[in-house]
Structure formats: C-alpha cells, structure tokens
Amino acid sequence: MAKANYSNRLDALKNRRHDSELIKKAFAEGQYEILTESYERIKEPKTIKYVIGAMQPVDYKYTKNTLDEGERVKNQLGKLAEIGYEIAFKYQGSVTNNTHIKAHSDIDILTIHQEFITLEPPQKASIPYRGDPVQDLCKLREDCYSILSSAFYAAEIDNTGAKSISLKGGSLRRKVDVVPSNWYDTLKYTETKLDYYRGVMVLDYKNKTRISNTPFYHNKLLDDKDTNTAGNYKKVVRLLKTLKADAENDIGLSSYDIAALMYHMKNSDYLIKNSPLLLIFNSLNFLKSVYSNEFYRNNLSVPDNSRKIFQANGATLNDLRLLIIELDNVYQDLLDDLIKSGYNIDKQIIA
C-alpha cells in the first residue's frame, strides 16, 4: 500500500486541534500569537510529527471555549428553576476525560431532575416517589426545548434524538447536547458517598424509557488507567481516534468503544518511556490479539462493566479490522522512516 500523505494529515491534524475563529478574533485584536504546538517543533520526519501530535491533548484554551459554550447553555437552562424544577447540571463525554481530538468538540450537558432518585436494587426508597419518572423527564425535555428555542433562536435545534436535544450554529461556537436525566444511586455510591460512583438514568424520549449510565465512574477509571500508564493510555486513545478521523474508509467504532478497547491492554505494555513506535507496536499487537481471539473478544466489557464492547449496536469485528489496518500502515511508515534515519523501534522522542 502506498505511503499516506503525511503533509495532508498534518494539515488535517492542525485544523482539528486549532480554533480558527478564536485565532482570527484574537489576532485581529493584537492579543494572540498563533499557537505552535510542541510536536511542530521537533526535528523529525512528518510521520513522527503526525503520531506525536495525534497523541497530545488539545490545548486547554480551545477546550475552555467548549466549556464556555456549555456554560452559556446551562445559564439559559437555569430558567427551569423559575418554573419549579430542582435541577443539577453535569458534563459528560470525551472533553471531560481529555480524550477529545478536536478544538471544536461537542459537549454533553446532563440536565438532572432532582425531585426523584432511582436506587440500584436491592435498595428500596423509604418514601417511594408517587410520580411517574418517565413522564416527568419527558416534561423536563419539553420545557428544555421551549427554553432553548427561545434563547438560541438563530441556532439549529434538533429535538428528534432519543437521548438529547442538540444545538449548533447561530451564536454557538460549539455543538451542545442537552441530556435530560435523573440521579441513579448505585450500591457503591450509597456505601461510600464518593461522587464518581453516582450514576444517572438517561431518558430515551422515543421509547419512553430510561437507561442507566455511570459517566463519572467511567472517567475515574480512565484517569486511573492513564495515571498507571504514565499518561500513555490516553495518548493511544487520541491516536486511534485521529486515525479513525483521517481514514479513507468509514470506521464505525465509537470514541467510547476505542477507549474501552485500549483500557484492556496491559499497563506494562504502555510503560515504554518515550518510544512512540514501541507504543504503537504494542497497541497493534493487542488489537490483533482481540481480533483473532473470539472468546477473549466477546468477553471484553467497557470499563465500568455495564455492557460488552462487542455486542449488538456496539463495536463490530469489521470496524476493528479497519482500525488495525490504519494503525499497521502508520506503524510501517514510521518504521521505514526511522530505519532510513539510522534508528530502530526503541528510539526515544520527547515533544
């Protein structure tokens, strides 16, 4: 297979990771020097620049813009209190666990109805709720839509999604998803009162039901994995998400499933100091082992053990195959460039 055009890939990488609107505005005001990221300064072949850049977190000044847009939406939803709701807000998604790869990343706002709490069995409420949680969450969603439609009249607001109301355009610089839900007190949360064990029940507006979710525990597990692997776990997740974005073929693996897959690679395979090629080599071998071992693959769960990774409406074997091809191609291109430069797989590179 022909070598990928890494000049084009570097351009795509930079365009994803930089906020052009922020740059233009600040540059026009004489307040901003165009950001040069660390990977752009290393004196290495473009293949290495691309891989190193793909592994790095998006600069916080751009991530903050995403959070600021979330705050704008939250401030408008604060009007729910004026019509009698007791509401809490929490963020979820790749921005919150720092595995996002775009400056213009979407953000999810959990809009939490606090007048009732769902308890994980066998817990039972001392005073059972007399209302209908699904109906109450449907009403919350309808009121959210009404408020948002008035506040962001120039934006495109999509109320057809099963789990969220999506807003984009108009005055909003980011896509924001509003997710009606209520608290879900897991057994671990009741026992420990540690916030990351607390979950939510998310409304499925189409099917008029609710789905349990533990996004804060998920983030805690990813943070722990990253700490135990010297920051290399999230580097690999970002790299694989970047390869998915740049692939010619559509790879259907979700960001969640990519993070879940790489969560199962042994910590020792991540602890390779500053050798990106060795890190890719270990990741490639791991993904190939998942692909070839059906029993192992079918028993892999997402980090919080709420579901299997490979299941209906989840990851597929073909999508895993396509991701392996992309990673293998990058590995071979990197190896070729290192050999031409007189180095091997263990070369240490610090960005």
Is the pLDDT confidence value at 269 over 80?
yes
Is the pLDDT confidence value at 237 over 60?
yes
Q: Note whether 144 and 205 are within 8 A (CB).
A: no
- Assess whether 65 and 197 both reside in one domain: yes
- Print the domain residue range for 10: 6-59+222-340
* pTM above threshold 0.85: yes
Residue 168 lies in a domain: yes
235-254 per-residue burial string, b: 16 or more CB within 10 A, e: under 16: bbbbbbbbbbebeeeebebb
Residues constituting the chain: 351
pLDDT in tens, 138-153: 999 999 999 999 999 9
Residue 140 is inside which H or E element, if any? helix 133-151
Domain boundary residue, one of 170, 192, 218? 218
- Assess whether 191 and 226 both reside in one domain: no
Say how far apart CA 136 and CA 152 lie, in whole Å. 24
What six digits make up the tokens of 93?
């998604």
Q: Note whether 39 and 53 are within 8 A (CB).
A: yes
Which pLDDT score, from 0 to 100, does residue 32 have? Answer: 52
- Assess whether 253 and 319 both reside in one domain: yes
* CATH code of the domain containing 148: 3.30.460.10
Terminal alpha carbon distance of the chain: 29
Say how far apart CA 280 and CA 233 lie, in whole Å. 11
Which pLDDT score, from 0 to 100, does residue 277 have? Answer: 87
Q: Percent of the chain scored above 90 by pLDDT?
A: 77
Query: What φ, ψ does residue 327 adopt, rounded to 5°?
Result: -70, -40
- For residue 86, the SS3 value is coil
Query: What φ, ψ does residue 179 adopt, rounded to 5°?
Result: -120, 100
Say how far apart CA 34 and CA 50 lie, in whole Å. 19
- Assess whether 101 and 203 both reside in one domain: yes
- Assess whether 307 and 322 both reside in one domain: yes
Which range, 101-110, 135-144, 306-315, is most confident? 135-144
Which pLDDT score, from 0 to 100, does residue 343 have? Answer: 67
Decide: residue 36, CB within 10 A, 0-12 exposed, 13-18 middle, 19+ buried: exposed
Q: Note whether 178 and 167 are within 8 A (CB).
A: yes
- Assess whether 214 and 65 both reside in one domain: yes
Q: Which residues contact 169 (CB under 8 A, 6 or more apart)?
A: 154, 155, 156
Is the pLDDT confidence value at 23 over 70?
no
Say how far apart CA 252 and CA 316 lie, in whole Å. 8
The tally of domains found in the chain comes to: 2
* DSSP for 106-118, written as a single string: -EEEEEEEEEEEE
Which pLDDT score, from 0 to 100, does residue 27 have? Answer: 46
Residue 306 lies in a domain: yes
Which pLDDT score, from 0 to 100, does residue 349 have? Answer: 64
Domain boundary residue, one of 195, 218, 241? 218
Residue 317 lies in a domain: yes
Q: Count how many Cα atoms sit within 13 Å of the Cα of residue 158 in the half-sphere of its side chain.
A: 12
Say how far apart CA 101 and CA 26 lie, in whole Å. 22
| 283 vs 63, more confident | 283
- Assess whether 39 and 125 both reside in one domain: no
Residue 99 is inside which H or E element, if any? none
pLDDT in tens, 168-184: 999 999 999 999 999 99
Residue 282 lies in a domain: yes
pLDDT in tens, 182-226: 999 999 999 999 999 999 999 999 999 999 999 999 999 999 999
124-157 per-residue burial string, b: 16 or more CB within 10 A, e: under 16: eeeeeeeeebbebbeebbebbbebbeebbeebeb
Which pLDDT score, from 0 to 100, does residue 323 have? Answer: 98
What six digits make up the tokens of 23?
């740059």
Q: Would you report the helix, strand and coil content of the chain in percent, each value rounded to 5? A: 50, 15, 35
Q: Count how many Cα atoms sit within 13 Å of the Cα of residue 128 in the half-sphere of its side chain.
A: 3
- Amino acid sitting at position 213: N
What six digits make up the tokens of 263?
């969560």
Q: Are strands 107-119 and 165-168 parallel, antiparallel or unpaired?
A: unpaired
- Assess whether 42 and 75 both reside in one domain: no
Q: Note whether 331 and 280 are within 8 A (CB).
A: yes
What mean pLDDT is predicted for residues 327-349?
81
